[in-house]
Amino acid sequence: MDSNKRTAIVTGAARGIGREIAISFYKKGYNVVMNYAGNDKAAEETIRLCKESGDGNIISVKGDVSKEDTARALVDAAMNEFGAIDVVVNNAGITKDTLMAMMKTDDFDRVIDVNLKGAFLLTQKTLKPMMKKRYGRIINISSVVGVHGNAGQVNYAASKAGLIGMTKSIAKELAGRNITVNAVAPGMIATDMTDSLSDKTKDQIKSTIPAGRMGTPDDIANAVLFLADEKSGYITGQVLMVDGGMGM
Annotated catalytic residues are 156
What are the backbone angles phi and psi of residue 24, rounded to the nearest 5°? -65, -40
User: What gap in Å lies between CA 232 and CA 50, rounded to an integer?
Assistant: 25
Give the 3-state secondary structure of residue 153: strand
What span, in angstroms and rounded, lies between the C-alpha atoms of 24 and 225?
8
Is there a contact between 196 and 222 (Cβ–Cβ < 8 Å)?
A: no
What residues contact residue 165 under an 8 Å CB cut-off, 6+ apart?
Answer: none
Q: Based on the number of CB atoms within 10 Å of its own CB, is 7 exposed (0-12), middle (13-18) or buried (19 or more)? A: buried
Rounded to 5°, the CA angle 229-231-237 comes to 75
SS3 57: strand
Q: How many angstroms separate the first and last alpha carbons of the chain?
A: 45
Ramachandran area for residue 212 (φ above 0: left; ψ -120 to 50: alpha; else beta): left
